[in-house]
Amino acid sequence: MKVARSIAEYAALRDPAQGRIAFVPTMGALHNGHRSLIRLARSRSDLVVVSIFVNPLQFGPDEDYARYPRPLEVDLESCEAEGVDIAFVPSVTDLYPPGRQITVSAGALGSVLEGTSRPGHFDGVLTVVLKLLNIIRPDVAVFGQKDIQQLACIQRMVVDLNVPVEVLGAPIVRDPDGLALSSRNVFLSAPERSLALSLSTALEKAATQTSVPAARMAAYEILDRAADDPAFVLDYATLVNPTTFAELPDDYTGPAILAMAAHVGRTRLIDNTILTFA
């Protein structure tokens, strides 16, 4: 595996003659969710590029940018073990040199749910993703459904800005008890971890319901119980249209997303599931 520590180093390594390039952007602290994306990328290409970059632009001022885990050497070993061809690990100043002004605006899709709780988050995500796509120039880029609103914003950007890349979504990888894997799970104490399971339990329960009101009620029953513990503070749990992310009316039929976010102790977690109402 080659490691490109700057844009210039990557440009020198990039060799389209080697075939189709698949790209997996990450913020590092790699887990089996990231590994599943890398394997999907591998199955769809000849050359796999993984970026590891904790993007300051997508964190709010009171968020966990400074303490976000950065086990770079372990991550590079994981990439090597997964057969990654190039790991791209740029510095903040390389990606964001002084004087920059232009950013991508995520629009309406980026202003609901996560966008309401984290103003500017998706502008930061789309700006770095577009920059990375322009630097890496992959044929295909893989993103996880764990961040389903992010995936929707990226798909929208690729269409709206004619970005020449195929975007693939990969299913959520969970621990055996149901907790969605996340780089932030390392922050959870044992009692916080069991509280955090309320998210996946609520999603599972809601997914067995046949109407919007029933799914909503099933989820809230579990989430309200979790909120009896002051360490669990629900941010949102909302049933939305998978294309617009607008909240669903009670009589809605068709595909839906139940998306949720909660603070568990000092850690903010998100999770979601796709369901269908007949």
Among the listed ranges 69-77, 176-184, 208-216, 221-229, the one in contact with ligand AMP (CB under 6 A) is: 176-184
Query: Would you count residue 201 as binding ligand AMP (CB under 6 A)?
Result: no
Least gap, CB of 275 to ligand AMP (angstroms)? 18
Query: Would you count residue 131 as binding ligand AMP (CB under 6 A)?
Result: no
One residue of 1, 173, 231, 274 binding ligand AMP per CB under 6 A:
173
Query: Would you count residue 146 as binding ligand AMP (CB under 6 A)?
Result: yes
What tokens does 129 get? 């993703």
**14, 17, 20, 23: CA torsion to nearest 10:** 0
DSSP reduced 3-state for 276? strand
Instruction: Report the chain's C-alpha Rg in angstroms.
Output: 19
Residue pair 138/51 in contact by the 8 Å Cβ criterion:
no
Among the listed ranges 76-84, 103-111, 138-146, 239-247, the one in contact with ligand AMP (CB under 6 A) is: 138-146
Cα–Cα dist 61/65, whole Å: 8
Among the listed ranges 26-34, 65-73, 86-94, 194-202, the one in contact with ligand AMP (CB under 6 A) is: 26-34
For the chain, strand residue ranges (E) read 2-4, 21-26, 47-52, 86-88, 140-144, 166-170, 232-240, 254-264, 267-277
Q: How big is the site for ligand AMP, counted in residues (CB under 6 A)?
A: 17
- Burial (CB < 10 A; 0-12, 13-18, 19+), residue 220, is middle
One residue of 4, 33, 57, 185 binding ligand AMP per CB under 6 A:
33
Establish whether 31 is a catalytic residue. no
Binding site for ligand AMP (CB under 6 A): 26-27, 33-34, 36-37, 143-144, 146-147, 170, 172-173, 180-183
